Every structure is written in C-alpha cells, then in structure tokens.
Amino acid sequence: MMDFLSLKKNLSKDFSSFKKIKIAVLGDSATQFLSQSIKGYGYEVDLNFEIYEADYNQIELQVFDRLSDLYRYQPEYIIIQKSALKLLNNFYKTSVSRKSAFGETELRTVREICSSISANSKSKIIFTNYNEINDGVFGNFAAKVESSFLYQIRKINLGLMDLAREIKNLYILDTASINSSFGMNKFTDAKMYINADMVYSLDVLPEIAKQIADIITSIQGRIKKCIILDLDNTLWGGIIGDDGIENIQIGSLGIGKAYSNLQLWLRELKYRGIILTVCSKNTESLAKEPFEKHPDMILHLDDIALFVANWDNKVENIKYIQSVLNLGFDSMVFIDDSRFERGMIKQAIPELTVPDLPEDAAEYVPFLRSLNLFETASYSEQDAERTKLYQEEANRTILYKSFSSEQDFLSNLEMVSEVQDFNKFNAPRIAQLTQRSNQFNLRTIRYTEADILKLASSNEHKCFAFTLKDKYGEYGLIGILILEKQNESLFIDSFIMSCRVLKRSMENFILNQIVEYAKGNGFKNIVGEYLPTVKNVIVKDLFKDYQFKESSGRWYLEVDGFVVKETFIKRK
C-alpha cells in the first residue's frame, strides 16, 4: 500500500497523458488531504483526477443552490464526505425526545442531497458511510436502546445501503469497513482532528483514496472478470502428484481449513460472476481427481470454466486461457503460491494482476479480501450463470472444428434472437454491457442503470436489446443498440456486442434491425462513428465493411438500396 507522502509526491508528476475525470469533493470537515490523496492516487491508475474542492463544510450550501460553483464545475463524480464525529456532535445537540428519530432525519437529508444533485447535474455521487463509534454512553446496552448513538448510526449505515439500491447514481464508499479493518485509533488521528478538523489519519487516507479510485475505475469499465488458479499448495495443501488424494490438506486434514476457506470464497466470487479457471503444472487426470472424488472439495469441475493442467510453461498456458475466453489480461487475476511462477508471469504478462500471496495459507483469504480486487459497478442475477456460458462456449469451439465451413457451423447452431426494448427488467444487464464491453464497442460510452432507464423513455432515442440462444444454451442479453433520432438520420450512439457472440453473424442481424427500423419510420440515413480506444480495434473497419461512406470522421449509409446481410439467426 502506498503511503500518504508518496501520494503527495505524485502530485508534481505529469498527468497529461491520462484520461481526465472531473471530481468534486465536499466535506463536513477539512478535506485538503483527502483531495490530495485522491489526486495522487490517480497517478497510480493512470487517471487525471481534476478536483474541485468546495470550501470547508459547504455540502448543503453547494448542493441545494442550483447556481453553485459545484454545478458550474459539472463534475462527473461528487464525493460527499461526512464524518461520524460530526454526526456525533449533531446527535448530542438533538433533544432526548428526538434522538430515536435522528437516523431517519439524517437519511431524509441524504435523500434530499441526492435528489438535488440528480436534478441539477449528471454527476454520480460517492457518499461515505460512517465508522460506527460506540460513544460509551450506554456501553453494550446501546443495542437495546433506540435513542443510543450506536443504534442510530447503524440505522443510518443500513439506510444508506437501502438508498444506494434505490438511487442508481448513488454509490457508497464503505468507510465503516475500512475503519473496522484499520481500527478506530488508526482510522482517526486525534491530533489531526483537534488541530485541523481532519477525520482521516495519514495512514488511512491512501486506502480511502484507493477505494474511491476502485469505485470510479469500475464504473469506467475496468473490472476483474476471471481468476486463474494454481492447484498444489494454493487450492489445497500438499502436492497431489506426490501426496495422493488421501493426503492433500483440505477440509479437516492438517491446515485444510485454510484451503477450504479459500475455495468457499472463490465459489462465492463465481456466484457473483467471476470466471474461475485452473492453470496447473500437473498430469491432467491427477489434477482433476480431487475435484471429482474428494468429499471435502468445495469447488467441482463444473465450477471451473477452463481447466488447463499439463507440464508446459505457465506463461503459454495463461495466454491460451486468455485466447479461449477472449478476455483482456488486465481483467484477469493469477493466484499461485509459488513466488517463482508469479515472478515469471508478472514479467511476461505485466497487465495481469498477480497478488503476492502470503507464505502462510491461513492468511490467503484475509489477504486477498483486503485487496478489494473485485469492485464492480453492476450486478445482475444472471452473473451466476457466467461460468456455464463459458463452458458452453468451449463446446461450440469443439463443434466448430468439426465443420468444414463457417456457414455450416453457424446454421447448425440453430440460433434465435429476441429483440427487446429497454425496460426496467433488462436495464441492469444493459448498463453492465455498456460498462464491461471494450472490444465490440464503437464509441465506448458507459451508461448507468439510471441512464438506461432515461433512454428507455426518451423520445429522441430508439433503443434495442438483443438476446441470443442456440442449441447449446442461452447467451442471454448480448447486444444493444442506442439510436439517436436526428431529423432524417439515425445516429448510432452505441452499438455494443458481448465478445462471446463474435463471429455468429449477430452483427449482421443487428445491422439489419437498424435498417429495418429506419425504413419503417421514415429515416433516410444511418450515421455511425468509431471512437478508437486501445481495445476496440476489432470494429475499426466495421462501417467500411458495411459499405458506409466516410465524411469528416463520420460514416453514412443510405437506407434505400440496402441489401439485407446474411445472418444465421432467426428472430423470435
């Protein structure tokens, strides 16, 4: 972890090549060090955070005045830092008879703050929750007294989570969790609070800044999607090839509990949508044996999307896993107990995240948890199915090899697509696609769920969502189209497809849909734009290939005379 002085040193470095993101910081205490930490941490994640810092204790003043400097600044993110110590002071000023309603009143204010921000800006709100102070007035008995501070502050923290579920552009920075891992004495430096009205210690500031950056980068689409796991001494204790299935440590044998805990955590990540894969130097049949036969194994073969066990170099094996899953290295995490393997992989594939696992397996889970590697900006229940989707994909790859032509393969898949409007049911998945997809994404514009719902009811836009299934299974919702009506033209604001359905003729199906809609609704032209990023090279020539004509950076297609593209997908 970086220390505060290093973050401060970053401030004088060159940020000019990084993407600029405007952030406003509003606090109920002094925020200078917080702002410096956030700005400095940006250097670590290649982002140029341009920060507007409101004057001391101006949250309400800025938020409720629609002509305030805050709104004039038009930040992408507004960080609202409220502190438990200030809350405590307010609580003490509240009359005894009103103390039981203190939490509710506070939550009402938060709701009003969010409403005002939403009404006056497009900013996303990052709101700190509260480190839970037991003020020692009731001791443990506080649990039984509704008018105690502990009771009310916990109510507020839970209420903030409820608000975050409801208000789509509200994100909670969980300072309560950070406090519980640091401890109150390390979280706040009494000296800094008394002398400068700062509530975060220099030690905790880098962690706060990191987690703010985690939230922002995940909203920007930088998320981890896959874990590559070593087996011996990582997933179980001992070496399967030497010790045999009855002697590896998992469950109750030796320190097996440490490995069971890691497997439990990994399975939870799988449910959350993280793809688990195995990369092990082993004989494949031996490596698979515990997954198939050991009664204490938590993970089974169907939890693993891709199982690679052989005696080849791990670098090559990881490159193979990357190519089959078609994910970026920067979205993958490699977990291996061997320092040697980790060093080799880090050097060969620097984009890969390679945590330096502690020597002691008992510390694996606490250590990995503390890294906050799996921050996300969206979650939908379909995420639990993702492993199955990748396994089905592997089956298709095998089928593909058995056909002589791509056409034969595609028509054999019996693909069906349903074309949907945007609605509140598919909005979470659509928002997620805009945030996760980097490759087949023409303009890489990220939308939140709230944005998607706005688009759904906008008269200036026409939006479509596409599902796909074939005889092997459901791909789910894998494509979206956001069209903006501009007089006689339809502008393609977003055309995004999940990389799982590349080369399925899905893009042809979607293009046909655009033209069909245009013709049916009196539009004469379709206008497209390609905004290059390091990751969307595969759609660089998309418009050219579809015979769009270029003119000053944009691509134009007349709908008259359009020849319907060949597709192997039937419309449901």
Partner 1 sequence: MQTDQIYSQLNDVFKEVFNKNDLEINDDTSADQIEEWDSLQHLILMITVEKKFGIKFTAKETQLFNNVGEMVKAIKSKLD
Q: Which residues sit at the interface with partner 1, rule CB under 8 A? A: 4-5, 8-9, 12, 32-33, 189-192, 194-196, 198, 201-202
Nearer to partner 1, 198 or 492 (CB): 198
Check residue 46 and give left, alpha or beta (phi > 0: left; psi -120 to 50: alpha).
Answer: left
Question: What whole-number distance in Å separates Cα of residue 81 and Cα of residue 75?
Answer: 16
Nearer to partner 1, 13 or 165 (CB): 13
Q: What tokens does 325 get?
A: 């899953």
Smallest separation (angstroms) from partner 1 to the CB of 174:
25
Given CA atoms 347, 348, 353, 358 in this order, what sign does their dihedral have?
negative
Nearer to partner 1, 5 or 184 (CB): 5
3-state secondary structure of 46: coil
Smallest separation (angstroms) from partner 1 to the CB of 8:
8
Nearer to partner 1, 11 or 537 (CB): 11
Smallest separation (angstroms) from partner 1 to the CB of 203:
9
Smallest separation (angstroms) from partner 1 to the CB of 6:
10
Instruction: Give strand pairing partners of 232.
Output: 236
Nearer to partner 1, 36 or 128 (CB): 36
Q: Provide the 10 A C-beta neighbour count for residue 556.
A: 14
Question: What whole-number distance in Å separates Cα of residue 86 and Cα of residue 92?
Answer: 10
Distance separating the N- and C-terminal Cα atoms of the chain: 52
Question: What whole-number distance in Å separates Cα of residue 238 and Cα of residue 153?
Answer: 46
Residues 6+ apart with CB under 8 A from 185: none
Nearer to partner 1, 89 or 547 (CB): 89
Count of positions (residues) in the chain: 572
Smallest separation (angstroms) from partner 1 to the CB of 36:
9
Nearer to partner 1, 205 or 518 (CB): 205
Contact criterion met (CB below 8 Å) for 232 and 335? no
Question: What whole-number distance in Å separates Cα of residue 21 and Cα of residue 259?
Answer: 41
Question: What whole-number distance in Å separates Cα of residue 127 and Cα of residue 80?
Answer: 5
Instruction: Classify residue 353 by its DSSP letter.
Output: B
Smallest separation (angstroms) from partner 1 to the CB of 191:
5
Question: What whole-number distance in Å separates Cα of residue 469 and Cα of residue 413?
Answer: 9
Smallest separation (angstroms) from partner 1 to the CB of 488:
59
Smallest separation (angstroms) from partner 1 to the CB of 198:
8
CA angle at residue 257 from 252 to 258, to 5 degrees?
A: 150
Smallest separation (angstroms) from partner 1 to the CB of 56:
13
Query: 555-559 — which CB contacts under 8 Å span 24+ positions?
Result: 555/527, 555/528, 555/529, 555/530, 556/525, 556/526, 556/527, 556/528, 557/515, 557/525, 557/526, 557/527, 557/528, 558/524, 558/525, 559/515, 559/518, 559/519, 559/523, 559/524, 559/525, 559/526
Smallest separation (angstroms) from partner 1 to the CB of 196:
6
Smallest separation (angstroms) from partner 1 to the CB of 35:
12
Nearer to partner 1, 192 or 239 (CB): 192
Nearer to partner 1, 55 or 292 (CB): 55
3-state secondary structure of 6: helix
Nearer to partner 1, 74 or 195 (CB): 195
Q: What tokens does 163 get?
A: 């608000």
Place of tokens 């990994």: 266
Nearer to partner 1, 202 or 315 (CB): 202
